[in-house]
Amino acid sequence: MQHKDTQVWQLDARCPEPAVIDRAAAIIKAGGLVAFPTETVYGLGANGLDPAAVAGIYRAKGRPSDNPLILHVADRAMAHRLSHRLPPAAALLMETFWPGPLTLVVPRAGEIPRQVTGGLDTVALRMPDHPVALALIKAAGVPVAAPSANRSGRPSPTTARHVWADLQGRVDAILDGGPAGLGVESTVLDLTGPQPLILRPGGVTCEQLARLLPDVALDPAALGEKTASCQAPRSPGMKYIHYAPAAPLILFEGELPRVQQAMQRRAAELLAAGRRVGLLVSEETAAGWPGAAHLLTLGSRRNPARAAALLFARLRRFDRLPVDIILAEGIPGRGLGLAVMNRLRRAASEIVRC
């Protein structure tokens, strides 16, 4: 692909400068690519109604063409124009969780390019809870197709520096609004079937959804198991390897004492064989590891929100450390912990259940 000079514009995330937003919106309207912050991670945006612009997202990321994108909207009126039939539950969910980290899969309107939906008859819609993102969509006047602003398969970006590392020379501009807050992507909820189905856990938890939708269910793929299905994925993050650091990652799950013992044995074996080991652990287990290993923590096991905020930055940090392999400790899969475990399982080359 043709390389270009990527511009980086810093702005106040709480009150983004209109002149900067207008310049970025002009790029979107002209068919270009702009990376921007949301409350979850940084997104790579293009005009969601322009097939050529959407194709540019896939090229920049190296993303498989059957992996659908999320259309980001500025308000509910825009969402209504993008679906020929919003399910009854959509209004309640929008009122409760929008703007916010919840993506709704609904029947698509005819004007939406197939490049956005991965060839499906459904479309994924979200209203982000970030002043920069909302200002950009409003100024552009179109729904903005925006997956995470990283090379396909890599850890998602939570800072503009992460975007630059992956996409410099592949996008027109990066809006630097500081670190993303939540740290993991939105929850994706499919409303097109007989019951609401969580396709990807994220910033809105299963427990929160169940209080509004008692019959909500979790798609088995949402647990994070990689599949070899030939079917097109119904949501981002369902089929392909995602979030992976450069070094292979081995994830250890189960009761904490057994996880600790198994990780310590594997670390000792690898170090004895001359391998350079990285360790991703909780604060509760951070003491007592071999000094030769490179250790990073995800915070307390009792604080999954902290783990979510740190996860992708930690995985990217390992890329800058001299490690050949990473051993990661799983955390309890409740609340936001389910989203963290989904990402770790997708990133893992091996899962050890203790």
pLDDT tens for 184-222 read 999 999 999 999 999 999 999 999 999 999 999 999 988
Per-residue pLDDT tens over the stretch 253-301: 999 999 999 999 999 999 999 999 999 999 999 998 988 899 999 999 9
Residue 241 lies in a domain: no
Mean pLDDT score of the chain, rounded to an integer? 93
Q: Which residue has the higher pLDDT, 69 or 4?
A: 69
Q: Are residues 77 and 208 in the same domain?
A: yes
Residue 122 assigned as binding residue: yes
The residues that bridge with 55 in the sheet, in sequence order, are: none
Instruction: Tell me the two tokens of residue 199.
Output: 């396709």
Q: Are residues 146 and 183 in the same domain?
A: yes
Both 210 and 336 in a single domain? no
- The verdict on whether residue 63 carries a ligand-binding annotation is yes
Task: List, for residues 30-40, the tens digit of each pLDDT value.
Answer: 999 999 999 99
Q: If DSSP codes are grouped into helix, strand and coil, which group holds residue 209?
A: helix
pLDDT at 321 over 80: yes
Q: Are residues 295 and 191 in the same domain?
A: no
Amino acid at 161: R
Reported as half-sphere exposure (CB side, CA atoms, 13 A), residue 116 has a value of 29
Q: What is the mean pLDDT of residues 156-173?
A: 97
| 127 and 79 co-located in one domain | yes
d(CA 19, CA 25) in angstroms, rounded, equals: 10
Same domain, 109 and 216: yes
Q: Is residue 229 part of a domain?
A: no
CA 165/CA 335 separation, integer angstroms: 31
* DSSP 8-state class, residue 36: E
Provide the β-strand partners of residue 36.
Answer: 43
Shared-domain flag, residues 143 and 19:
yes
40 annotated ligand-binding residue: yes
Instruction: Please identify, among 206, 223, 240, the residue that sits at the C-terminal boundary of a domain.
Output: 223
Same domain, 28 and 160: yes
C-beta neighbour count of 311 within 10 angstroms: 26
Domain boundary among 223, 238, 261: 223
Task: Determine whether the annotation assigns residue 108 to a binding site.
Answer: no
Q: Considering just the CA atoms, what is the radius of gyration of the chain in Å? A: 20
Across the range 99-127, mean pLDDT stands at 95
Q: Is 70 within 8 Å of 103 (Cβ atoms)?
A: yes
pLDDT tens column, 100-113:
999 999 999 988 99
Transcribe 106-155 into DSSP letters: EEPPTTS-HHHHTT-SEEEEE----HHHHHHHHHHTS-EE--BSS-TTSP
Domain boundary among 205, 223, 241: 223
**What CATH number does the domain containing 18 carry?**
3.90.870.10
- Burial environment of residue 80 by CB neighbours within 10 A (0 to 12, 13 to 18, 19 or more): middle
Query: Does 126 appear as a known binding residue?
Result: yes
Ligand-binding site membership of 342 (annotated): no
Residue 66: pLDDT band (50, 70, 90) is confident
CATH number for the domain spanning 276: value is: 3.40.50.11030
Query: Do the annotations mark residue 58 as ligand-binding?
Result: no
Spatial separation of the C-alpha atoms in residues 102 and 125, rounded to whole Å:
9
Cβ-contact 41, 206 below 8 angstroms? no
**146 annotated ligand binder:** yes
Closest CA to 59 of 103, 21, 4: 4
DSSP type of residue 109: P
148 and 272 share one domain: no
Confidence of residue 1 (pLDDT cuts 50, 70, 90): very low
Please return the burial class of 153, using the count of CB atoms within 10 Å of its CB with bins 0-12, 13-18 and 19+. Answer: middle
Contact (CB, 8 A) for 87 and 192: yes
Q: Would you say residue 42 lies in a domain?
A: yes
pLDDT of residue 236: 55
- Retrieve residue 73's tokens: 């909207």
Do 204 and 271 share a structural domain?
Answer: no
Which band of pLDDT confidence, cut at 50, 70 and 90, is reported for residue 234?
low
pTM: 0.93
**Any binding-site annotation on 156?**
yes
Number of Cβ within 10 Å of residue 28's Cβ equals: 27
Residue 211 annotated as binding? no
**122-126 and 187-190 beta bridge pairing:** unpaired
Residue 235 lies in a domain: no
Stretch (H or E) spanning 257? helix 256-272
Instruction: Note whether 193 and 258 are same-domain residues.
Output: no
Domain count across the chain: 2
Is residue 240 assigned to a domain?
no
* Cα–Cα distance measured from residue 167 to residue 157, given in angstroms and rounded to the nearest whole number: 11
Domain that holds residue 42: 7-223
Amino acid at 262: A
Q: Are residues 166 and 36 in the same domain?
A: yes
